[in-house]
Structures are given as C-alpha cells and as structure tokens.
A = this chain, B = another copy of it.
Amino acid sequence: MSKFSVRAFGVSIDGYGAGPKQSLENPLGVGGLGLHDWLFSTRTMQQIFGKEGGTTGIDEDFAARSFENVGAWIMGRNMFGPLRGPWPDESWKGWWGNDPPFHTPVFVLTHHARAPISMAGGTTFHFVTEGIQSAAERAREVANGKDVRIGGGPATLQQFLRAGLVDELHLAISPILLGAGEPLFANIDMLKLGYQCVEHVPSPKATHVIIRKQK
C-alpha cells in the first residue's frame, strides 16, 4: 500500500522550511538554498544536474532514497513557481526545465484551474483546485502501490500533517539560521498528531531525522 512521505525536506536551526521573499531569483526564499547544501552536493543531485561526481556517504544515501519507489508527487503552488493569483498565461512550467526530476504525475495544489502539462521524462503536472483530500486520492490512485511524496512549501506540508495524511517525514536540519521565512512546525502539535522521531543520523552537513506516525 502507498505510503505518503516527505523526504529530503530541509529545515534551518531556527525552524524555517523556506526563507522569506520567494522570487524567480530565490526559489526557496532569501537564504533558502542553504537548506539544501547537503543535498545539492550529492552524487544523486549532481547526476540530475547533468554533472559528474558528487558526495557519497550519509547525505548521498538519503538523497538516493528520497527518489526511490515514488509513484506520484504532490506539491503546493509555491513549490511549483513564484507566481501568485490567476495564471497570466501557460508559459510557466516549473523551475526544473523541460525534463523535471520527478518522472511521475505531479499534483500541484492551486486555487486557479489550468490544463495538465506533459513534460519530458514522464513528468506530468496536474493542477488540483479541490484541495488536499482530492489531491491525495488522485495521487494514491496513480501511484499504484508506490509511495506518494509530499513536497513543500511548509504551508502545504502543514495542511497534510494536520489532516493526518503523512506517514513519514525525512527532515534534514541544516546548520544555518534563516531569521525569517516559512516556519515548519509553528502552531502544529506533532505529538498530538501521533508523530515520533524514530531515527537520527547526523552527517557533517546536516542532521537527518526520520519522523513517523505511530499506528
């Protein structure tokens, strides 16, 4: 059966899952790229960037695992792009170029309907205006027994956590301060929602924690 999982989600020491003032120049908000320093340097990500080399070890293991057995993605509008409000036209197709690194159906939560976009490499962006339950059902169906990976931003993740729809989270706590931005756990009682930290693997660049919903 499909698990719903959050993977390779960066968080700062001061608790932000993205920096402030997201824009075309700062997809993860000001300073937010620092959350992914551990990730971008791995062999898995370097391959995605079309490059040789990259780190091996703990960070690489988590990076590689983050892409395994994923049958569908769900993400918020802000992970898909910096635009807000109605789509001005059909030109924005995500940050990731013609061949995005998902290779599955991706359900993008939005208040503004838009036709699906088929990209190279098997990624199709579907735009869901009926909310997270609808996105969860559609993703589960197409995942066909594989896992559904929940992306960001933090506001989207919080919606899924509050609805009890996340089975497992892999967070990477990066040794940086962001000062401002999108807090991951503000006003959300993870214990009351049934979550426990079950694994803790530090690497030189991040502290990896696995948080699992207790049955």
- Among B13, B15, B199, point to the contact of A211 (Cβ < 8 A): B13
Copies of this chain, tallied across the complex:
2
Residues in chain B near residue A179, CB distance under 8 A: 189-193
Q: Are A191 and B211 in contact (CB under 8 A)?
A: no
Q: How large is the interface on A (under 10, 10 to 19, 20 to 34, 35 or more residues)?
A: 20 to 34
Q: Indicate with 1 or 0, residue by residue over A170-187, a CB within 8 angstroms of chain B CB atoms.
A: 010101111110011110
- A107 interface residue per 8 A CB criterion: no
- A197 interface residue per 8 A CB criterion: yes
With both chains docked as a complex, state the minimum distance between the C-beta of A183 and any C-beta of chain B, in angstroms: 8
CA distance A173 to B176 in the complex (A): 13
Cβ < 8 Å to B, chain A residues 131-164: none
7 further interface pairs, Cβ-Cβ under 8 Å (given A14-B190, A15-B15, A202-B204): A13-B211, A15-B183, A15-B185, A175-B199, A177-B196, A179-B189, A202-B203
